[in-house]
Amino acid sequence: MADADLEAMARDELSRAVTLRWQDLRGIVPWGDTFEGVSPAGRYVEVERSYIWASQEGGDILCEVTVFGGPSRYDAGERVSSIIYRPS
């Protein structure tokens, strides 16, 4: 069952995460980080953001964001993703 609060926060973070340009990310992919935050409903959560090659190195970059209620609840978190396309 989806958690609307976690999903809303994941989508909001994803909207910021994909503002990084492919040119700025290409030298650090694969890369990720995890940080603590407060969800729209006021819950303390962890936010994991990662950038990996979507299919092949040097191609499009897959950006994934997962929001969850702590390490033991990672599998119950909400994950959203988007592609940052390699410029033509």
CATH architecture of 4-84: 2-Layer Sandwich (3.30)
Q: How many CA atoms within 13 Å lie on the side-chain side of 44?
A: 3
Phi first, then psi: give them for residue 20, nearest 5 degrees: -70, 140
Instruction: Enumerate the domain spans of the chain.
Output: 4-84
pTM score, whole prediction: 0.92
Burial class from Cβ neighbours inside 10 Å (0-12, 13-18, 19+) for residue 17 reads buried
CB 43 within 8 A of CB 28: no
- Tens of pLDDT, residue by residue over 11-60, are 999 999 999 999 999 999 999 999 999 999 999 999 999 999 999 999 99
64 vs 50: CA distance, rounded Å = 5
